[in-house]
C-alpha cells in the first residue's frame, strides 16, 4: 500500500507541474487535466482511507476471534481439571475429552447440615467437621453429576474442540513432567496457531503478527497449559 501512495503522489505532482507549465495557455487541455487531476485525488483518497482502515478492521476481527478462542481454551482447561479429578491425569486426546464432556459424570460430595459455632470455634475446620459427623449433626452424601450439566450450560461439548470461525480442531497433548523436587506431575497443552484463528483476515498483517511473536520467543497464537512447565494458565494472561 505504501508504494501505491507514493506513485499516486508522484502522479499528482507531475500533473500539477504539467498543468502549470504546459497547459496554462490551452483551456481545453486545462479542463481535461482538471478532470484527471480530480480523479487522481479521489484515487489517492481511496488509498489513504484503505491504508488506514485495513489495520483497524484487522484488529477488530482479531479481537473478536481471540475472545471466542480464549473462551473455548478456558473450557478445555476446566474440562481437563474435571477429567483429572476423575482419572488422576490429563488426556492428550480431544476425542477422549469430548467423550468425557458429553457422557461422563463427576462425583460430588453434597453437604447436609452445618457445623455448630460451638464446635467450629474449638477445633480446626477438618476436626470440627469430623466431630459433627460423628455426632450426627451433619452428613455427607455422594452424588453423580453429568459433566455436560455441570460445565456446559453455555457451550456444547462439540464446540469446545473446534477453533471458532473455522472447521479446524485445537491441537492438544498431555505428558508427565518431573518437578525440581523430583515429583511427577501431569501436564497438558491446548493451542491454535494464528494462521487458523485469523484465517480470512489480511494475510500480510497475520504474517507480521506471527513474525513479531516469533522474534519475541512467544507462540504465534493462543494456548493454555504447557508441555515443558507445570502451568495451566493461558498465554493471554
Do 64 and 172 share a domain, yes or no? Answer: yes
Do 94 and 18 share a domain, yes or no? Answer: no
212 - beta bridge partners?
Answer: none
Helices (H), 88-162: 94-103, 117-120, 125-134, 147-151, 157-160
Q: Is 45 part of a structural domain of the chain?
A: yes
Distance CA 11, CA 41 (A): 10
Q: Is 168 part of a structural domain of the chain?
A: yes
Distance CA 93, CA 98 (A): 9
Do 48 and 77 share a domain, yes or no? Answer: no
pLDDT in tens, 210-230: 999 999 999 999 999 999 999
Q: Is 41 part of a structural domain of the chain?
A: yes
Q: Is 140 part of a structural domain of the chain?
A: no
Say if residue 200's pLDDT is above 60: yes
Residues whose CB falls within 8 Å of the CB of residue 181, separated by 6 or more in sequence, listed in order: none
Contact 197, 66 (CB under 8 A): yes
pLDDT in tens, 61-101: 999 999 999 999 999 999 999 999 999 999 999 999 999 99
Do 7 and 28 share a domain, yes or no? Answer: yes
For residue 40, CA distances in Å to 5, 28, 126 come to: 11, 18, 81
Residues whose CB falls within 8 Å of the CB of residue 61, separated by 6 or more in sequence, listed in order: 198, 201
For residue 32, CA distances in Å to 23, 123, 124 come to: 10, 97, 94
Percentage of the chain beyond pLDDT 90 is: 54
Q: What mean pLDDT do residues 173-191 have? A: 94
Do 46 and 68 share a domain, yes or no? Answer: no
Q: Residue 7 has what pLDDT?
A: 62
| Domain with 88 in it | 57-100+154-225
Q: Is 134 part of a structural domain of the chain?
A: no
Q: Is 119 part of a structural domain of the chain?
A: no
Contact 90, 80 (CB under 8 A): yes
- Closest Cα to residue 152, out of 193, 97, 86, 195? 97
Do 46 and 64 share a domain, yes or no? Answer: no
Do 161 and 221 share a domain, yes or no? Answer: yes
Q: Which three cell numbers stand for residue 70?
A: 480464549
Q: Is 70 part of a structural domain of the chain?
A: yes
Do 214 and 178 share a domain, yes or no? Answer: yes
Do 17 and 75 share a domain, yes or no? Answer: no
Estimate the share of the chain in helix, then strand, then coil, as percent rounded to the nearest 5: 55, 20, 25
For residue 156, CA distances in Å to 33, 106, 175 come to: 63, 17, 26
Say if residue 109's pLDDT is above 70: yes
168 DSSP 8-state letter:
P
Domain count, the chain: 2
Sign of CA dihedral 104, 107, 113, 116: negative
Do 213 and 161 share a domain, yes or no? Answer: yes
Do 46 and 71 share a domain, yes or no? Answer: no
Do 50 and 165 share a domain, yes or no? Answer: no
- Closest Cα to residue 233, out of 191, 182, 197, 178? 191
Q: What mean pLDDT do residues 102-113 have? A: 81
The pLDDT-based confidence of 121 (bands split at 50, 70, 90) is: confident
Amino acid at each position: 500500500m505504501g508504494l501505491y501512495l507514493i506513485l499516486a503522489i508522484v502522479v499528482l505532482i507531475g500533473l500539477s507541474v504539467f498543468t502549470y507549465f504546459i497547459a496554462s495557455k490551452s483551456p481545453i487541455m486545462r479542463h481535461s487535466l482538471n478532470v484527471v487531476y480530480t480523479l487522481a485525488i479521489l484515487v489517492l483518497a481511496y488509498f489513504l482511507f484503505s491504508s488506514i482502515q485495513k489495520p483497524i478492521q484487522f484488529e477488530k476481527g482479531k479481537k473478536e476471534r481471540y475472545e471466542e478462542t480464549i473462551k473455548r481454551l478456558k473450557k478445555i482447561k476446566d474440562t481437563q481439571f474435571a477429567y483429572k479429578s476423575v482419572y488422576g491425569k490429563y488426556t492428550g486426546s480431544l476425542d477422549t475429552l469430548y467423550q468425557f464432556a458429553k457422557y461422563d459424570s463427576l462425583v460430588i460430595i453434597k453437604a447436609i447440615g452445618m457445623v455448630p459455632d460451638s464446635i467450629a470455634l474449638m477445633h480446626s475446620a477438618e476436626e470440627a467437621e469430623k466431630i459433627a459427623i460423628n455426632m450426627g449433626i451433619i452428613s455427607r452424601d455422594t452424588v453423580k453429576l453429568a459433566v455436560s450439566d455441570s460445565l456446559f450450560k453455555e457451550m456444547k461439548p462439540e464446540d469446545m474442540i473446534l477453533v471458532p470461525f473455522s472447521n479446524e480442531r485445537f491441537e492438544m497433548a498431555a505428558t508427565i513432567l518431573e518437578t525440581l523436587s523430583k515429583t511427577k506431575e501431569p501436564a497438558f497443552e491446548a493451542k491454535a496457531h494464528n494462521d487458523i484463528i485469523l484465517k480470512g483476515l489480511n494475510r500480510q498483517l497475520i504474517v507480521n503478527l506471527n513474525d513479531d511473536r516469533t522474534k519475541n520467543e512467544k507462540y504465534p497464537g493462543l494456548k493454555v497449559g504447557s508441555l515443558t512447565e507445570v502451568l495451566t494458565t493461558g498465554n493471554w494472561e
